[in-house]
Amino acid sequence: MTNTKQILAMLKSQAEGDTDRFYSIALQIAASEARKGHRATATEIREAVDGVRSKNSRGASVPISFAQPRGELESLLDLQEPKLKLTDVVLQPTVSERLKDLIREQVKRDWLREHGKTPNRRVLFVGPPGSGKTMTAEALAGELKLPLYVIRLESLITRYMGETAAKLRLVFDETLKRRGVYLFDEFDAIGGTRKASNDVAEMRRVLNSFLQLMEKPNATDSVLLGATNHPELLDQALLRRFDLVLEFDLPTDEQIKKLIQKYLRPLKFPRLRWKEIVECARGLSQSEIARASEDAVKTAILDERNTLNSEDVLRRLKDRADMRRAFGQIK
Ligand X SMILES: Nc1ncnc2c1ncn2[C@@H]1O[C@H](COP(=O)(O)OP(=O)(O)O)[C@@H](O)[C@H]1O
Selected range binding ligand X among 9-17, 35-43, 44-52, 84-92, rule: CB under 6 A:
84-92
150 binds, among Mg ion, ligand X, none (CB under 5 to 8 A by kind): none
Half-sphere exposure of 181 (CA within 13 A, CB side): 29
Give the number of residues written for the chain: 331
How many binding residues for ligand X (CB under 6 A)? 16
161 and 199 in contact (C-beta within 8 Å)?
A: yes
Selected range binding Mg ion among 120-128, 133-141, 212-220, 276-284, rule: CB under 5 A:
133-141
267 three-state secondary structure: coil
Selected range binding Mg ion among 20-28, 129-137, 194-202, 270-278, rule: CB under 5 A:
129-137
**Closest CB 227 distance from ligand X, rounded Å:** 6
90 binds, among ligand X, Mg ion, none (CB under 5 to 8 A by kind): ligand X
59 three-state secondary structure: coil
Per CB under 5 A, 255 contacts Mg ion: no
**Closest CB 260 distance from ligand X, rounded Å:** 11
Per CB under 5 A, 134 contacts Mg ion: yes
Half-sphere exposure of 29 (CA within 13 A, CB side): 23
What's the CA gap between 191 and 181, in Å, rounded?
19
Binding ligand X (rule: CB under 6 A), the pick from 96, 129, 205, 239 is 129
How large is the angle between the packed helices 310-330 and 286-302, nearest 10 degrees?
Answer: 130
Per CB under 6 A, 142 contacts ligand X: no
Return the closest-CA partner of residue 269 out of 232, 299, 234, 241. 299
Per CB under 6 A, 293 contacts ligand X: no
Selected range binding Mg ion among 16-24, 130-138, 155-163, 263-271, rule: CB under 5 A:
130-138
Per CB under 5 A, 286 contacts Mg ion: no
Question: Based on CB atoms, which residue is closest to ligand X, 89 or 300?
Answer: 89
Per CB under 6 A, 228 contacts ligand X: no
Per CB under 6 A, 286 contacts ligand X: yes
Give 207: exposed, middle or buried? Use CB within 10 Å, 0-12, 13-18, 19+.
Answer: buried
What's the CA gap between 287 and 265, in Å, rounded?
16
Phi/psi region, residue 19 (left: phi>0; alpha: psi -120 to 50; beta: rest), is alpha
206 and 235 in contact (C-beta within 8 Å)?
A: no
Per CB under 6 A, 209 contacts ligand X: no
* In the complex, residue closest to ligand X by CB: 132
Residues 188-247 that bind Mg ion (CB under 5 A): none
Secondary structure (DSSP) of 95-131: HHHHHHHHHHHHHTHHHHHHTT-----EEEEE--TTS
**Closest CB 51 distance from ligand X, rounded Å:** 35
Selected range binding ligand X among 23-31, 51-59, 112-120, 127-135, rule: CB under 6 A:
127-135
Q: Residue 129, preceding bond cis, omega within 30 degrees?
A: no
What's the CA gap between 200 and 174, in Å, rounded?
28
Per CB under 6 A, 193 contacts ligand X: no
Selected range binding Mg ion among 97-105, 126-134, 145-153, 199-207, rule: CB under 5 A:
126-134
Question: Based on CB atoms, which residue is closest to ligand X, 135 or 280?
Answer: 135
Binding site for ligand X (CB under 6 A): 89-91, 127, 129-135, 227, 259, 286-287, 290
Binding site for Mg ion (CB under 5 A): 133-134
